[in-house]
Amino acid sequence: MTDNVTDPAFGKPRPLYEQVKRNIAARVAAGDWGAGARLPSEHELTAHFGVSRMTVHRALRELSTEGVVSRIQGVGTFAAERRPRQEFLRIHDIAEDITARGHTHRMRLIALEAVRATPTQAIGFELRPGAKIFHSTVLHFEDDVPVQLEDRFVSPKFAPDYLNADFSRETTARYLLRLGPATEIEHTAYAATPAPAVRALLEFGPADDAACLVLLRRTWSNGISATQSEFIYPGSRYSLGSRASTVITA
């Protein structure tokens, strides 16, 4: 038995534990082991893959760290509940993401108004302090469970009719994407303890994590500073991730 196998995509040795890890992750993703299902024991996996127990142990340990499985000492390894994952390096419509997963999206418009830009907002939008900007707050649901609180500020230069849009028919993201592409995007993500009002809107229960995932986004469209947005997700129900192709030049 060897410790490495050749990766046909790159012609490089790939650790055997990684092959085991990818195989298990693929079966969890495919639903062979549904959420909460108990996986075979380390001894059974060792026999199945024909590898050492140390190899299986490392693969399961890393899968546990990545949230693919959960391990209970003395009990076993279980397929973790899969959380919806949002790509945060692109602009997307959450309604389309939820529908693509086979679930039902709905939203509740909490605020749609004109406000005066704070000094910080004015700098970001390249306006004078106190200038009029647009503001909206939307709560998004997946199968009647709140999964995102969206708080968005919009430049009238980019979307002059924003306050007249019918957001019962389309999301704010879809409306803004129709006006023009985001030619530049800035993202910041962090964990935070939500305020009581946010906890209430997102319907936090005793079993929910104390922290929320917060994504801050600024967009520009063809040189215009278009939006400044904050998206808040319950940490126990959502994850953020990305995958991108890159071209490396000398």
Q: Which tens digit of pLDDT belongs to each residue from 145-203?
A: 999 999 999 999 999 999 999 999 899 999 999 998 888 888 888 888 888 899 899 98
Tell me, what's the pLDDT at 83? 56
pLDDT at residue 88 greater than cutoff 50:
no
Tell me, what's the pLDDT at 112? 97
C-alpha torsion angle, residues 86, 92, 97, 99 (rounded to 10)? 160
pLDDT at residue 29 greater than cutoff 70:
yes
Tell me, what's the pLDDT at 181? 85
Which residues, 6 or more positions from 183, have their beta carbon under 8 angstroms from its beta carbon?
220, 221, 222, 223
Query: What is the β-pairing status of strands 85-87 and 239-241?
Result: parallel
| 94-118 pLDDT per residue, tens | 888 888 878 899 999 999 999 999 9
Q: Give the DSSP H/E element, type plus range, for residue 218.
A: strand 212-221
CA–CA separation, 19 vs 44, rounded Å? 16
Residue 219 CA, chain-centre distance (Å), reads 18
Contact 166, 108 (CB under 8 A): no
- What is the b/e burial string over 87-106, where b = at least 16 CB atoms within 10 angstroms of the residue's CB? ebeeeebbbebbeeeeeebe
Q: 85-241: which CATH number, 3.20.20.70, 3.40.1410.10, 3.40.30.10, 3.40.50.1110?
A: 3.40.1410.10
Contact 148, 140 (CB under 8 A): yes
Sheet strands (E) in 45-171: 69-72, 76-79, 85-87, 105-116, 132-142, 145-154
pLDDT at residue 15 greater than cutoff 60:
yes
Q: Where are the domains of the chain?
A: 4-79, 85-241
CATH number of this structure's domain 4-79: 1.10.10.10
Q: pTM of the entire structure?
A: 0.61
